[in-house]
Structure 1
Amino acid sequence: MTLSIRVAEAADAGALAEVYLACRREMPYAPLAHGDAAVHAWFANALLPAGGVWLAERNGGIAGFAACSEQDGALWLDQLYVGAGHRNAGIGRALLERVVLRQTRACRLHVFQANAGARRFYEAHGFKLLSLGDGQDNEERCPDALYQWRPDMKERPCLKNC
C-alpha cells in the first residue's frame, strides 16, 4: 500500500465531496441535511478555501480526508472520513496523526452518539468524552458527543497496531 497525505487543493473539492457523501450515506441515524449539489458547493466554496483540509491518497486515489478549524481559540477536528474501500488500513490514524496528534494544544470534536465505530476510534487515540448533546446544535438534529484530546494527557494515543 502506498499512502501519502497532503494539503487538499481546490481541484480536489469534487472528489472529497464524493467521499463525504458516500460516508454519510452509510449513516442511517444521521440523514444528510443538504443535497449533493449543496455539499459540492460547500466543499468548493467554503471548506477548501478556508484551509486546514488534508487528504490521504492510497495507491493513486483519494482514500479519505480530515478538516480542522479554529473556533474561539481552540482547534477543532471538523471532519474525518475514510472511504469504505480504504478502512482498517491505518488511513484514519495517519490523518489524525498529521492534523491533530502533532499539535501542542488541545483539540475538540463532535461525533454522532450512534457512530460507535468513530467513538471507539477516537477513544483509542486518546480522546476523552466531555459531554453528550441532544442534537439541537447540529444540522442533522441527531444526538452527539463532544470529545477532547490534549497533548498533556497521561494516556498517549495508540499510533501503531490499533
Structure 2
Amino acid sequence: MPAEPGVTLRRATAPDAPAAADVWLRSFAAALPTVVRPRTDDDVRHYFREVVVPLRETWVADAGPGAGIVGVMVLRDGELSQLYLAPDWRGRGLGDRCVALAKERNPGGLGLWTFQVNKPAHRFYERHGFAAVRYTDGSGNEEREPDVRYEWRP
C-alpha cells in the first residue's frame, strides 16, 4: 500500500504528548473494545506527558495542520512497545512506515507484545516478518488479558 502523502514521522517533543496520548486512547478503544484498561484517561495522559515522550524513543506521525498527530510509536531497548494509529488513519500505509523505521532503528531485531484478541495486529506484524514465539494467559500484564509475544530477527 502506498504511504500517505504529507505525513511526517518525527521524534515527539513535549508539546506532542497530549495529542499522542489522545491517539493512543482512541486507537485502543477502537481496536480493543473488550480489553479492560486498568488506567483512566487522565492516567494515560499523565504517563505520556511525564514518561513516554520525555524518557522513551517516541515517534509521531504528523499529518500537519488540520489533522495533527495521527500515530504514535514507542521504541525501547529493542522493543516496539507502542504502535497506535488514529482509527480513521489505519490502512493508509502509516503502520508500514512505522515498522520500517522501527527495524531501521533496531537492525539487530525487535520484540513486541500484543493481545491475543487483536487478530488484525497479528496479521499486520506477521506480514512484516514477525513470528509469534510465546502465548501467555495475561497474568503478566496490567490488563490481565491473554497476550502473545512477537519477534522479528533479520
TM-score (norm 2): 0.91
Q: What stretches of structure 2 of length at least 5 have no aligned partner?
A: none
Q: Return structure 1 stretches of 4+ with deviation > 4 angstroms.
A: none
Cα deviations by residue, 1:60-89 (Å, 9 ceiling, x for unpaired): 32110100111xxxx011000011111100
Cα deviations by residue, 1:41-61 (Å, 9 ceiling, x for unpaired): 000101111131001112532
Aligned residues: 147
Which structure 2 residues correspond to residues 4-43 of structure 1 after superposition, within 5 A? 4-26=8-30, 27-43=32-48
1:55 aligns with 2:86: no
Amino acid at match of 1:83: A
Cα deviations by residue, 1:3-53 (Å, 9 ceiling, x for unpaired): 210000011000011011111112122121100111110001011111310
1:81 aligns with 2:84: yes
| Distance across 1 between alignment mates of 2:23 and 2:7 | 17
| Distance across 2 between alignment mates of 1:93 and 1:50 | 24
Q: What stretches of structure 1 of length at least 5 have no aligned partner?
A: 152-162
Q: Hey, what does 1:90 align to over in structure 2?
A: 93
TM-score (norm 1): 0.87
- Equivalent in 58, 64, 70 of residue 71 of structure 2: 64
- Equivalent in 135, 140, 153 of residue 137 of structure 1: 140
Higher relative contact order, structure no. (Cα contacts within 8 Å, ≥ 6 residues apart): 2
Q: Hey, what does 1:44 align to over in structure 2?
A: 49
| Distance across 1 between alignment mates of 2:148 and 2:138 | 9
Worse overlay, 23-32 or 134-143: 23-32
RMSD between superposed Cα atoms in Å? 1.2
| Distance across 2 between alignment mates of 1:47 and 1:31 | 21
Q: Hey, what does 2:150 align to over in structure 1?
A: 147
Say whether the 8 Å CA contact 1:77–1:107 is kept in structure 2. yes
